[in-house]
Amino acid sequence: MITERDTEHIGQLADIAIHREELAAFTSRFNEILEYFDLLDQVEVVESIEGRECNVFREDEVIPSLSQQDALANTREKEEGFFRAPRVM
């Protein structure tokens, strides 16, 4: 069972703020869904050695980059060619 405190913790882990009034609803939905996921308990985990597609590479060849202007085109928070993000501290 997931408690409301757990839901808050998951929100923190997911870096999603949750409105207080949504907490109860989210929690009960989670519990319904997670209970359904318990169906997976019956599945046995066996290491599959199937021949998956592997080793897809490209050669080390330079492809032209975007211009600085194009790179920054989708934001107005920019300064001297840098993107501007919130402070980390």
Q: Which residues bind another protein (CB under 8 A)?
A: 2-3, 5-7, 9-11, 13-19, 22, 26, 29-30, 32-34, 36-37, 39-46, 48, 50, 52-68, 70-77, 79-89
The answer to whether the beta carbons of residues 4 and 27 sit under 8 Å apart is: yes
Nearer to another protein among residue 6 and residue 24 (C-beta): 6
Rounded least distance, CB 84 to another protein, Å: 5
Q: Which of 3, 45, 47 is nearest to 24 (CA)?
A: 3
- For 76, which DSSP code? S
Rounded least distance, CB 24 to another protein, Å: 14
